[in-house]
Structure 1
């Protein structure tokens, strides 16, 4: 009888441990989709802090998308947090460069910023070129190149084996246009990659900071900047980063006061 009670006791402990392990495993096995849906649910209830926590859990799980950053931007915007809303809209725009809704909400967030910086004017050609370049991401241009090369190959094969004069003319034209567009797309792919490698932008997260002419606190102040302003990072030195504003001004900021996009 004593042995049976002891056996029953051990079985209870083992079952309890297994049950506890299953609960813990279930708690930690929540994937990014569940966090994302939970964030949407909290956002719908106006629980923006809880929504932000869930969206950040999505990012911490190793998954990111324009939708996650966009929703993070919306939740922070609802809480009047300028820098986080601008930052997350900018991150979303990097993943979906031509999304009108993201651009619109980013504009609303930028309207909350204090700094009024007039960008340097662009000539018409450069403006058009940047607009074309922004149609796709790097992966998008690479995919377009592959599709166009495939279309060129198919058109050339059909041209080679087709005997009709009219058909041959059509396939030859398609092949010619395809290879031209493929080369253009390939050029834009490398240009987009080069831009990404050479252009590192950041958002100021400090409520107020001074742009210095040298990387030290005792140097002369160039201008006072505020949270939410976007800067281009040019160089890093110790705890400072050399940045350029949209109007062309350059100076140093403490790197703890900005967040790289």
Structure 2
């Protein structure tokens, strides 16, 4: 009975994968033909089926960009960047999409060693750093075994140095992986989806309106309270906004 259930599960999974592959090809064809609404619908259907990838998010961002829909375009480019932080195509296209946004938020630049370390960590995603850590740990074991069984002094010195270097890179990769994971968990970002959204001093309609934001603006979510979210912009400005006006990344 267990074997039958397992086989059925495998066939269902394979069928879903094949269906998503077919939908992806159809969406790409629709995009190339200029049928952007149809392409977006098929890409979204793949997401509803539970499959995600940087390429899927990137294609969705391109599709909504063609439809002049600022917020979803930026949102999906940001989702693609979460999976491929250093991808130049995604970075270039998201800049084009941001130019369509009304709000021009000047980012407060970080300086010093902290900025350099943050840039280095953001080169790869959490999973990529973790994979690098595993690969270099395996390489360390192999090199150390060769060192242990080698009899020539020159080879032993080279192998020992290479093994220690592999171990060092392994440790750094693991640390960066946890730093990247911690950064994502501690920094919840969102994209404004409403055409206009008021940011207030308090989480209620009685609070004074501080400023307005428009679709496509990126903000960091500091906390949630009932139907309100307290956000912080890149320039340091803070306030409360209706949670329905944004979509968390």
TM-score by length of 1: 0.87
Alignment-derived partner of residue 81 in structure 2? 93
Where do 1:3-82 residues align within 5 Å?
A: 31-82=19-70
Alignment-derived partner of residue 247 in structure 1? 235
2:178 match: secondary structure: helix
State how far apart, in whole Å, the 2-side matches of 1:29 and 1:36 are.
Answer: 10
2:219 match: secondary structure: strand
Whether the 8 Å contact between 1:31 and 1:61 is mirrored in structure 2 is no
Alignment-derived partner of residue 201 in structure 1? 189
Whether the 8 Å contact between 1:240 and 1:253 is mirrored in structure 2 is yes
* Gapped regions of structure 1 (runs ≥ 5): 1-27
Deviation at 1:210, TM superposition (A): 1.1
| 1:222 equivalent in alignment to 2:222 | no
1:115 match: secondary structure: coil
Deviation at 1:206, TM superposition (A): 0.5
State how far apart, in whole Å, the 1-side matches of 2:212 and 2:48 are.
Answer: 33
Alignment-derived partner of residue 185 in structure 1? 173
1:31 match: secondary structure: helix
| 1:113 equivalent in alignment to 2:70 | no
Alignment-derived partner of residue 6 in structure 1? none
| 1:164 equivalent in alignment to 2:152 | yes
Deviation at 1:121, TM superposition (A): 1.7
Alignment-derived partner of residue 134 in structure 2? 146
State how far apart, in whole Å, the 1-side matches of 2:168 and 2:63 are.
Answer: 45
* Gapped regions of structure 2 (runs ≥ 5): 1-15
1:253 match: secondary structure: strand
How many aligned residue pairs are there? 234
Deviation at 1:29, TM superposition (A): 9.3
Q: For the pair shown, which has the larger CA radius of gyration, 1 or 2? A: 1
The change in CA–CA distance for 1:193 and 1:29 in structure 2 (over 3 A counts) is closer
Q: After superposition, what is the alpha-carbon deviation per residue over 1:225-244, rounded to whole angstroms, capped at 9, x for unaligned?
A: 11000000110000000111
1:140 match: secondary structure: helix
Whether the 8 Å contact between 1:240 and 1:254 is mirrored in structure 2 is yes
Q: After superposition, what is the alpha-carbon deviation per residue over 1:113-136, rounded to whole angstroms, capped at 9, x for unaligned?
A: 111111112013222212211122
State how far apart, in whole Å, the 2-side matches of 1:32 and 1:253 are.
Answer: 36
| 1:234 equivalent in alignment to 2:222 | yes
Q: Which runs of 4+ in 1 moved over 4 A?
A: none
1:235 match: secondary structure: strand
TM-score by length of 2: 0.91
| 1:258 equivalent in alignment to 2:246 | yes
Alignment-derived partner of residue 12 in structure 2? none
Where do 1:120-135 residues align within 5 Å?
A: 120-135=108-123
